[in-house]
Amino acid sequence: MTITRASHDRPWTEGELTELAHLKSVNEQLPEDSPRALLSVRLSILTDDTTSPVRQELDLWRKANDDRVRVVGVARDLNVSATKVPPWKRKELGEWLNDRSPEFDVLMFWKLDRFVRRILDLQVIINWCQEYGKNLKSLHDPIDLSSTIGKTIVSLIAGMAEIEAANTGIRVASVWQHAKTQETWIIGRPPFGYMTEKGKGEKVRLVIDPFRYRILRWAYGAALRGVSASKMAKILNRARIPGANGGKWTSTTLLIQLRNPAIMGLRVETSSRSGRKRSKEVLDGKGNPIRVAEPILTQEEFDELQSALDRASRTNENPWTAGATKFLGVIVCRICKTNYTVRTSTSRGIRYKYLRCRVCGGKGADPQELYAALVEAVLEELGDHPVEYREYARGAEKRDQLRQVEASIKYYMEGLAPRGRFDRGGFVKETAEETLQSLLKQMDEIDPESTKDRWVLTHGGRTYQQQWEAGGTEDMSRDLLRAGIKFEVGYNESNEVEADLLIPEDVRERLVIREDAFKTGF
């Protein structure tokens, strides 16, 4: 087992690593049939050593050794909020809960508020533990799901944790509300085009970022000349200029920056309008905008820019038909791997639809022809494959049966030994020997795998072709996305459309339908 270190986690000291090695060595000496434990370590922000991941993990290893449970893994989820992210959605713990649950019997954590902070999430986990035969243990809380009192205590503690988290949220919201009314920069990430620096009296203020200033001024001039946002994004990407979040530019990400009043040096907040998030100015008590920095664009220039962007959007109004593309995420461009999307155009009063890459362009393909080609290729490769479901099989019943058989075998073997209770000869000994042979046969017929908690695959009684014929293209599209199947489209030297069906090697495993054990918690 290796130690992973996140960038925000302090390094392990030599003394801590030595202690960890000793605790592991002690744990490895426990019997193979000891209960198996998964340790969960979580922290949203590294503040001090009292609840640091290192401290949590060492304490949990000690607890595991004291309880004589074998540690089979450690799920480390750092910089993760328990209020926002439930256990089953965390990167490491989520993998154990959703896919590796047969490998452990008890889930151990340092303290309840390190594990969950919402009572609904806790209730979902309790239900899951009861369904899958798991237990919860906390180092600092009296938690034991095997007793009614333990479950009651868990619910009470979770309620207190939720109240504490709510109070924290109120305090944070209050800080944000106060910050929005101040001319100084108190909290939050600077808008694109600006950066923070400490001024007089160590107060943080916003100043113009020279490099991003030039990007915005260039885009302003290009927009006035009629250059589209998509063309500007291509130019910026060719020049290898990083986008607002460090990635590539798109027309959408560029328009977000160009339509943001923050580039006038004003305080803004995000609002949702017509299903779209837009930044709007924050006004003071007198109804005036709050200036927090020097402007990159003046009010007059900003208004000119918005008019130019509006004119460009009207010349190409809703060219990409929302929700009309079938197999979205499956049909992609061979060159840039971007989704092929349905586009509409009008010629001589007739509307046409065609599929085309939004980045690389091209003449486009007839949607129905491309859909038909995809369906035909998929059915040829996977149509006869049976629909399989993953189910959780408990081994408790078989384990009990095996223990009873082993105990009975031991009883008859001792009885048939010299001077044993069946060592009398005649009918008594003969009957005992027949019973022993029957028990040995029963033990041989018990599959060792059936005594373990495990995932098993069951057949749904139909093929994928039958399933897709009943569910239509929507069901087929969901299955293809889940399986990671791609239909890459491009053009040959004669500018004719051609496509390749790319199927992962583990496609059959990916296609297995896995029931969502935590669906009530979403």
Among the residue ranges 62-76, 166-180, 434-448, the one predicted with the least confidence is 166-180
Higher pLDDT, 150 or 201: 150
31 and 112 co-located in one domain:
yes
Residue 247 lies in a domain: yes
Q: What six digits make up the tokens of 191? A: 């808008």
- Name which of 206, 174, 201 is nearest 189 in CA terms: 206
pLDDT band at 159 (very low <50, low <70, confident <90, very high): low
pLDDT of amino acid 273: 47
pLDDT tens per residue across span 31-68: 988 999 999 998 866 554 446 888 899 999 999 999 99
Sheet holding 350-357, edge to edge: 340-347, 350-357, 361-365
pLDDT band at 158 (very low <50, low <70, confident <90, very high): low
Among the residue ranges 50-54, 136-140, 476-480, the one predicted with the least confidence is 50-54
Helix (H) or strand (E) holding 435: helix 426-445
Angle at 251 between CA 246 and CA 253, to 5 degrees: 40
pLDDT band at 25 (very low <50, low <70, confident <90, very high): very high
Q: What six digits make up the tokens of 136? A: 């919860």
Could you tell me the residue range of the domain that residue 415 belongs to?
395-449
pLDDT tens per residue across span 186-222: 556 788 888 888 766 667 778 889 999 999 999 999 9
Q: What six digits make up the tokens of 23? A: 């605790």
Q: What six digits make up the tokens of 28? A: 């490895």
Residue 1 lies in a domain: no
Which residues lie below 8 Å from residue 485, measured CB to CB, with a gap of 6+? 330, 378, 501, 502, 503, 504, 507
Q: What is the mean pLDDT of residues 300-309?
A: 90
Average pLDDT, the chain: 82
In the chain, how many domains are there? 4
- Cβ 296 vs Cβ 216: under 8 Å: yes
Residue 184 lies in a domain: no
376 and 442 co-located in one domain:
no
pLDDT of amino acid 515: 82
pLDDT band at 316 (very low <50, low <70, confident <90, very high): very low
Residue 297 lies in a domain: yes
pLDDT of amino acid 313: 62
Residue 188 lies in a domain: no
35 and 124 co-located in one domain:
yes
pLDDT band at 288 (very low <50, low <70, confident <90, very high): confident
Higher pLDDT, 424 or 25: 25
292 and 369 co-located in one domain:
no
201 and 286 co-located in one domain:
yes
Q: How many CA atoms lie within 13 A of 436 on its CB side?
A: 16
Q: What's the rounded Cα separation, in Å, for the pair 23 and 69? A: 12
Q: What's the rounded Cα separation, in Å, for the pair 49 and 474? A: 51
Q: What is the mean pLDDT of residues 464-469?
A: 90
pLDDT at 83 over 60: yes
Q: What's the rounded Cα separation, in Å, for the pair 234 and 240? A: 10
pLDDT of amino acid 521: 41
57 and 115 co-located in one domain:
yes
Among the residue ranges 79-83, 225-229, 362-366, 473-477, the one predicted with the least confidence is 362-366
pLDDT band at 278 (very low <50, low <70, confident <90, very high): low
pLDDT tens per residue across span 388-437: 999 888 888 888 888 898 999 999 898 888 888 888 778 888 888 899 89
Task: Provide the percentage of residues in the chain whose pLDDT is more than 70.
Answer: 83
Q: What is the mean pLDDT of residues 508-512?
A: 91
**Residue 153: exposure state from Cβ atoms within 10 A (0-12, 13-18, ≥19):** middle
| DSSP conformational letter for 446 | S
The contacts found for 7-10 with CB under 8 angstroms, 24 or more apart, are 8/45, 8/46, 8/78, 8/79, 9/46, 9/52, 9/53, 9/54, 9/78, 10/46, 10/52, 10/54
Q: At what angle do helices 299-315 and 210-224 cross, to 10 degrees?
A: 50
374 and 410 co-located in one domain:
no
215 and 163 co-located in one domain:
no
* CATH code: domain of residue 280: 3.90.1750.20
Higher pLDDT, 495 or 61: 61
Q: What is the mean pLDDT of residues 482-494?
A: 89
Q: What is the mean pLDDT of residues 117-125?
A: 82
Q: What is the mean pLDDT of residues 488-510?
A: 89
Residue 38 lies in a domain: yes
pLDDT at 511 over 70: yes
Residue 179 lies in a domain: no
Higher pLDDT, 173 or 206: 206
236 and 156 co-located in one domain:
no
pLDDT at 103 over 90: yes
pLDDT of amino acid 7: 39
pLDDT of amino acid 246: 76
308 and 256 co-located in one domain:
yes
Residue 325 lies in a domain: no
* CATH code: domain of residue 160: 3.40.50.1390
78 and 25 co-located in one domain:
yes
pLDDT of amino acid 460: 73
Higher pLDDT, 283 or 69: 69
Higher pLDDT, 10 or 421: 421
Q: What is the mean pLDDT of residues 119-127?
A: 82
233 and 123 co-located in one domain:
no
pLDDT of amino acid 51: 66
**Which of these three, 150, 168, 186, is where a domain ends?**
168
